[in-house]
Chains A and B, each alone.
Chain A
Amino acid sequence: MSRKPKTEITWDTFAEGLWRENPVFVMLLGMCPVLAVSNTAMNSLAMGLATTFVLLTSGALISILRNFIPKQVRIATYIVIIATFVTIVDYTIQAISLDLYNALGAFIQLIVVNCIILGRAEAFASKNTLARTVVNATGMGLGFTLALLCIGVVREVLGAGALFGIDLFGPSFEPWVVMILPPGGFIILGMWLLIFEYVRRSRADAAKSEEVKHAA
């Protein structure tokens, strides 16, 4: 294995986390917080930003230390580094807004075991320079936040008839309560995946028929 890390930073370094390798919709990582806290758009946003912060800081530290961490104990080291930053986030959110802290519950502390963070530490931060890691982690974090918002917005609009706590439809709207409850999380994420898969397939079909036309 060549030890020389890639140094160039391209647009793709940033954008792969946003779309092509979106952690939630494509890689299906870190599903637990995605489904658990996405019942309102506000919670989704807070959770997304908290995760982005941990991704960024732990990625940066691991990238700096990557040549000092022995290979055998790397996972344990990563976990301890991640746990440290999560503790910081935990106390910070508690200080900023107690309401938000109570709404997110144990899921702030559970960022430690979010597969995305450990996955990126292992797959990217441990092999790349600081600058590249920071750019990539920002993209991944924003991709995660975006996915959470996609789910959170749909669930809040359908389940409470509101967006960011602002009433949308007036008193005549009968809220679809199941969307805020656990089953709604599964179903809405399933629907999003279905839509993406459908789009991907119809694009592939279109490309194929284009080819056939060319050949004819």
Chain B
Amino acid sequence: MQPDSLSFIFLNAVLINNFVLALFLGLCPFLGVSGKLDTAFPMGLATMFVMLVSSTCAYGINLVLNHFDIQFLRLISYIAVIASAVQLVEMTMKKFTPALFRALGIFLPLITTNCAILGLALFQTFKEYNFLQSLVYAIGAGVGFTLAIVLMAGLREKLSLANVPGAVQGAALSLMLGGMLSLAFMGFAGLGGSH
């Protein structure tokens, strides 16, 4: 596969360099919202939507910044766009799915500080993807994030029924699970080169 073909970019973002399990981006919601499948899946979708919007905007902004040669403003303008995109998702959800809005709670506005989103915008800039490639990369990253958080939620739902020694319960157990998942995802590294 060509390293810049669309299918490779997609597979790369979903499996080989999964944003959560290989690049450590977006761990806060990954550990925070993965308690139940019912909330984990919508959280993944919301994140994917914000990723798409911010990736598209970041592409446009980068063109403008390059045109005026003011790349040092990149970080500030990206984060401003992401914050507005999150606000948009928040308002939409509040209007159409109020129950879900309450279930996600503080983690919805915290998508702004989800490093997966800013990371995506920065990576696509570093890799100099064109518009279509950025779009595919964003979808891939979103799918990868959803996959990781749903897998994690499934495991944690099963584990909540298991008899676990006292000291291991809670964050330590979640991290160990994350480690195992990450180990499993390393197997995909054989699919292609690094990055």
Q: A113-B113, A190-B175 are in contact. Are A178 and B28 (CB under 8 A)?
A: no
Contact residues of A between 21 and 35, Cβ < 8 Å to B:
28-29, 31-33, 35
Q: A76-B80, A182-B186, A198-B167 are in contact. Are A35 and B113 (CB under 8 A)?
A: no
Shortest A46–chain B CB gap in Å is 17
Decide if A183 touches B180 in the complex (CB within 8 Å).
yes
Interface 0/1 of B40-73, CB less than 8 Å to A: 0000000000000000000000000000000010
How far, in whole Å, are A32 and B119 apart by their CA atoms in the complex?
11
Q: A31-B28, A80-B76 are in contact. Are A36 and B23 (CB under 8 A)?
A: yes
Contact residues of A between 74 and 105, Cβ < 8 Å to B:
75-76, 79-80, 83-84, 86-87, 90-91
Q: In this assembly, does A112 line the interface, its C-beta being within 8 Å of a C-beta of chain B?
A: yes
Shortest B42–chain A CB gap in Å is 21
Q: A35-B27, A80-B76, A183-B186 are in contact. Are A106 and B179 (CB under 8 A)?
A: no
For chain A, the count of residues having a C-beta within 8 Å of the partner chain is 41
The binding surface of chain A is classed by DSSP as helix
Query: Which residue of A has the minimal Cβ distance to B184?
Result: A183
Q: A31-B28, A80-B80 are in contact. Are A186 and B119 (CB under 8 A)?
A: no
Q: In this assembly, does A187 line the interface, its C-beta being within 8 Å of a C-beta of chain B?
A: yes
Query: Which residue of B has the minimal Cβ distance to A199?
Result: B167
Interface 0/1 of B6-28, CB less than 8 Å to A: 00000000000000011111111
Query: Which residue of B has the minimal Cβ distance to A200?
Result: B167
Decide if B175 touches A106 in the complex (CB within 8 Å).
no
* Residue of B27, B110, B112, B115 with highest tally of chain A CB at under 10 A: B115
* Residue of A90, A109, A182 with highest tally of chain B CB at under 10 A: A182
Decide if B186 touches A32 in the complex (CB within 8 Å).
no
Q: In this assembly, does B31 line the interface, its C-beta being within 8 Å of a C-beta of chain A?
A: yes
Decide if B83 touches A32 in the complex (CB within 8 Å).
no
Q: Which residues of chain A have C-beta atoms less than 8 A from B27's C-beta?
A: 31-32, 35
10 nearest interchain CB pairs?
A186-B179, A190-B175, A36-B24, A187-B179, A193-B172, A183-B183, A183-B182, A31-B27, A190-B176, A186-B178
Residues of A in contact with B (beta carbons under 8 Å apart): 28-29, 31-33, 35-36, 75-76, 79-80, 83-84, 86-87, 90-91, 106, 109-110, 112-115, 118, 178, 181-187, 189-191, 193-194, 197-198, 201
